[in-house]
Amino acid sequence: MDKYTKGNKKTEALELMVGHYLVGNQGIYKVQEFLGEGGFGKVARCTKLGSPEIYAIKIITNVQEGKEEFESMKLIQVLDPDENHLMKMYECFSFQNVICLVYEILEESLEDFLIKNECKATPLTYVRALAQQMFQALKALKSIGVVHCDIKLDNIMFADKNSLKFKLIDFGLAVESKELPIGTEIQVTRFRAPEVILGLPLDESVDMWALGMVLACVYFADVLNRAKNKDTFFTRDNGDWRLSFIDLLKCILQVNPQRRITPSQALEHDFITMKLIRPICSVPPNLQQRGLTVKSDGFGCIQNRLISVIWWIPPTVMIQ
């Protein structure tokens, strides 16, 4: 069994297995399977006795770290988790020397999504939905003066892939912006803002930089290195929308944090509102003869019962 030390006190942590029960404040949970594991402990897919609901329980072996994550989650409890695309927490309890945080069950992370998709370019439909929802999440966090501090591919998950619903997760490092001292080492290297690296004063804008890096990773992936014919990627049909996205990225990835776009401003950008972007999708005559129509979802999809085509995405980078 794993042990950890806090001060001079050694504590023996519970070794959980599938089928074990966790006794919480709001019910008894049964471990069905383990979804992941890290330095903090494990995440288990659990059912609650007497309920059809399924939960994701984060089991943290270091009691102090578990309490700190719970305190971080309390910072955002005033925000609606569904409206603001934030992970929902149901309860926190201590059980046999571990801290258990009960969260809603989600689907897969962006990291896993890209790996499964073999790092192919992601359609702008996905990128726009992701950007819009994460801007709303950061707008909500900014409104209460909270910084996530750890935005990365692993910490954004699909809530519902079919409807392109995303949620921001893992607030274990979240703090109030006024508590961000100069020289704080936050964010993983790949998504670290310039002001963090340079030891400059920090605020909520570090999250916008990290999100910009996430959006760039999701969209560009490895397509330019893998595509056989790069001209087929930069097609005329998606030109306006693609250029609008690039402009948004430039606004987010401003080295000077004072010039970096805010979440509220980003929500008004043309890439999100599509106000100044010409229609990106039309049905060619040869496809009209097959009974295809334009789906009016603002994403530029052509659909019928048997086929779904994102007209501006080349076949080599279609999401399966």
88 annotated among ligand-binding-site residues: no
Which residue from 249, 150, 138 is spatially nearest to 190, judged by alpha carbons? 150
What's the helix, strand, coil split of the chain in %, to 5? 35, 25, 45
Q: What DSSP line would sit under 21-50, residue for residue?
A: EEE-SS-EEEEEEEEEEETTEEEEEEEETT
Instruction: Give the Cα separation of 121 and 318 in Å (integer).
Output: 8
Asked if residue 167 lies in contact with residue 154, where contact means CB atoms within 8 angstroms, the answer is no
Whole-number Cα distances in Å, 133 to 50, 82, 85, 103, 252 = 34, 10, 6, 19, 15
DSSP string for residues in 204-234: THHHHHHHHHHHHHHHHTTHHHH-S-HHHHS
Question: Are 101 and 70 contacting, i.e. CB atoms less than 8 angstroms apart?
Answer: yes
Catalytic residue chosen out of the listed positions 80, 82, 112, 150: 150
| Cα 172 to Cα 178: distance, rounded to the nearest angstrom | 17
What does each C-alpha distance from 180 to 149, 155, 186, 193, 280 come to in angstroms? Answer: 10, 20, 10, 14, 42
Task: Return the number of other C-beta atoms located less than 10 Å from residue 300's C-beta.
Answer: 25
**Catalytic site includes residue 2:** no
Name the residues annotated as catalytic.
150
Q: Could you tell me which residues are annotated as the binding site for ATP?
A: 58
Q: Could you tell me which residues are annotated as the binding site?
A: 58
